[in-house]
């Protein structure tokens, strides 16, 4: 029953404030440097970016298990090379969003411009609106789920990973594709060279079910999709084509 | 690279701010094209009046007394407003062609940037911000306008190589991209009687469209036909007396974003250019489809 003349304000329950960066007041470089400086085991796990106004390279190169909420639309290369982080854009993204993502997740609440998820090696890219041309070009292991449509030349030279499109796909889907899986619920305007429709076997339904769950799009049924992939005729040099070289 | 902005006003109350809005949009895209900039602005067309925008490397010498000399030569009143290296001549609409001929006779060094009933064109080498300030673009009013920031690829960094290009009455064109068949096309168009001021690819596209329009097509048909005849990368924004059009090549690697509200239709190479427009948060924002002609008219 000690007495004390110290103030006895109730001690607030321990919590860590969201780190807020207002890009109308702070430079992009400061934001990205601060994101890169997050140390292993840091308590600064919640970040928020205000007033991006179409800025390029917002939250690029993050390599920590943090969440970043971007309030507004961004320009080129948002969330590029992401590792571990969950980056949510509450707006639309310009070209090259989540380019070369390694792991983690990028969620776009609006639309994505061209080559979203290009060359991605891992992680999950969710686009809740439409993606334009070349979505998932040269993807190498990333999973991409698009609620709307994708534009022409999507999954061009896709090597591995999954592209799921709940809407329609544009011209030349999966041109020169290697081993990525493409699932499209709507129509495909045309298939690219060496891309064919393939049988939807039980294991594909399972994979697709998991992807839709991870993307929070469980209103779509895996059975409604068609699967497309490589006919594997461009894999090896064919002597009959020698004259073409 | 290059940057394009366009603004078409539906709300008349914004017309006094057109120049200010357009120059802010253009300056925002400085890093897409820091070597030159240009703007085409469509003001209210006075009945029976025409405008010719001219440019001179030595404006003090070339513009001195030009209005009086032209008035005498044409037998009609000619007004002149000088803005830095450019001047806008007000001539009766029926005298536009005669005035062009008289200008090249009276002042051989003067270049004609554009002519028509509503169009004024200002373009120069230099940072977009400096170009906009030089011509006091932010004070201009109008119904619609187009701006361009240039990073030169196909021809030299000169005033005449800057965009917009105007090759027909009240018509202008800005371009992001590069055409690969412009030499051939220039030869063909020369045979058809078109004249060229530069070795620039975009000027060929502008002349192509003007030629198609002169031979009876409307702008929409001319843009459709450009998709078959032009080879290369392009996002074009085209201005006419009453509106503007947008078309992208089938590959569509040159970026484009559009926004529409009850007050305006806006075009930008990037969303950044649109981010400060009034009501942008509620605007319909979309990416124009490849090989698709879009057009808005008053």
Does domain B46-117 fall into CATH 3.30.70.240?
yes
Q: Which residue has the tokens 């001929």?
A: B101
- What fold, for B2-45+127-297? 3.60.20
Contacts of B257 in chain A (CB under 8 A): 94, 113
Model confidence, pTM: 0.92
Taking CA atoms, what residue in A is nearest to B275?
Answer: A53
Contacts of A152 in chain B (CB under 8 A): 252, 290
The residues, ordered by sequence, that sit 6+ positions from A135 with a Cβ below 8 Å of its Cβ are A112, A114, A115, A116, A117, A127, A144, A146, A150, A151, A154, A155, A163
Q: Which residue has the tokens 């394009």?
A: B4
With CB atoms and an 8 Å threshold, state whether B287 touches A132: yes
Arithmetic mean of pLDDT, B248-267:
96
Residues of B classed as catalytic = 2
| A96 vs B: CB within 8 A | no
- Report CA dihedral (A128, B236, B259, A95) to the nearest 10 degrees: 30
Contacts of B273 in chain A (CB under 8 A): 54
With CB atoms and an 8 Å threshold, state whether A73 touches B286: no
Instruction: Give residues 232 to 261 of B whose Cβ lies within 8 Å of A.
Output: 252-253, 255, 257
- What fold, for A19-231? Pectate Lyase C-like (2.160.20)
Write the pLDDT tens digit of every residue in B158-194: 999 999 999 899 999 999 999 999 999 999 999 999 9
Pick the residue of B28, B256, B268, B272 with the most A CBs within 10 A to test the interface with A by mutation.
B272
Instruction: Give residues 38 to 77 of A whose Cβ lies within 8 Å of B.
Output: 53-55, 73-76
At A6 the pLDDT is 53
Arithmetic mean of pLDDT, B111-122:
96
Domain boundaries, chain B: 2-45+127-297, 46-117
- Report CA dihedral (B66, B68, B69, B70) to the nearest 10 degrees: 80
Write the pLDDT tens digit of every residue in A148-181: 999 999 999 999 999 999 999 999 999 999 999 9
**Residue-level pLDDT, tens digit, chain A, 245 residues:** 444 555 555 555 566 899 999 999 999 999 999 999 999 899 999 999 999 999 999 999 999 999 999 999 999 999 999 999 999 999 999 999 999 999 999 999 999 999 999 999 999 999 999 999 999 999 999 999 999 999 999 999 999 999 999 999 999 999 999 999 999 999 999 999 999 999 999 999 999 999 999 999 999 999 999 999 999 998 888 888 888 77
């Amino acid at each position: 029953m000690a007495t004390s003349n110290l103030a006895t304000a109730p001690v607030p329950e321990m919590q860590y404030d969201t780190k807020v960066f207002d890009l109308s007041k702070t430079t992009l470089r400061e934001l990205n440097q601060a994101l890169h400086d997050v140390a292993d085991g840091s308590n600064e796990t919640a970040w928020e970016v205000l007033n991006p106004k179409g800025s390029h390279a917002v939250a690029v190169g993050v390599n920590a298990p943090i969440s970043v909420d971007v309030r507004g639309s961004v320009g080129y290369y948002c969330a590029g090379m992401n590792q571990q982080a969950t980056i949510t854009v509450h707006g639309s993204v310009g070209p090259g969003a989540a380019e070369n993502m390694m792991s983690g997740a990028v969620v776009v609440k609006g639309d994505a411009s061209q080559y979203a998820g290009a060359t991605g090696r891992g992680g999950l890219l969710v686009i809740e609106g439409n993606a334009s041309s070349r979505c998932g070009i040269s993807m190498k292991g990333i999973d991409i789920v698009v609620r709307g449509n994708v534009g022409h030349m999507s999954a061009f030279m896709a090597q591995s990973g999954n592209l799921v499109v709940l809407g329609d796909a544009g011209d030349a889907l999966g041109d020169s594709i290697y081993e990525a899986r493409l699932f499209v619920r709507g129509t495909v305007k045309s298939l690219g060279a060496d891309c064919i429709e393939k049988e939807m076997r039980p294991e594909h339904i399972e994979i697709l079910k998991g992807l839709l769950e991870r993307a929070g799009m469980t209103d779509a049924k895996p059975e409604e999709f068609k699967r497309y992939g490589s006919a594997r005729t461009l894999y090896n040099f064919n002597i009959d084509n020698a004259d073409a070289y | 690279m290059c940057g394009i902005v366009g603004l078409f006003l539906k709300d008349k109350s914004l017309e006094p701010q057109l120049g200010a809005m357009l120059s802010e949009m253009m300056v925002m895209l400085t890093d897409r094209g820091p070597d030159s900039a240009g703007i085409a602005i469509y003001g209210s067309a006075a009945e029976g009046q025409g405008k010719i925008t001219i440019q001179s490397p030595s404006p003090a010498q070339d513009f001195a007394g030009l209005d009086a000399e032209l008035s005498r030569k044409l037998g009609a009143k000619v007004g002149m407003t000088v803005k830095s290296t450019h001047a806008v001549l007000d001539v009766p609409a029926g005298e536009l062609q005669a005035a062009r001929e008289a200008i090249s006779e009276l002042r051989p060094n003067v270049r004609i940037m554009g002519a028509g009933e509503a169009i004024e064109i200002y373009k120069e080498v230099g940072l977009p911000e400096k170009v906009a300030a030089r011509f006091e673009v932010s004070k201009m009013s109008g119904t619609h306008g187009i701006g361009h920031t240039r990073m030169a690829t196909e021809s030299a960094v000169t005033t005449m190589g800057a965009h917009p290009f105007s090759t027909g009455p009240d018509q202008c064109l800005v371009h992001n991209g590069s055409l690969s068949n412009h030499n051939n096309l220039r030869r063909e168009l020369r045979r058809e009687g078109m004249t060229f001021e530069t070795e620039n690819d975009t000027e060929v596209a502008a002349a192509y469209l003007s030629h198609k329009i002169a031979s009876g097509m409307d702008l929409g048909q001319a843009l459709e036909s450009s998709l078959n005849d032009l080879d290369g990368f392009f996002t074009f924004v085209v201005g006419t007396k009453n509106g503007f059009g947008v078309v992208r090549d089938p590959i569509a690697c040159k970026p484009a974003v559009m926004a529409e509200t009850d007050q305006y239709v806006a075009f930008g190479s990037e969303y950044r250019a649109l981010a400060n427009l009034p009501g942008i948060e509620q605007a319909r924002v979309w990416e124009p489809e490849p090989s698709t002609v879009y057009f808005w008219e008053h």
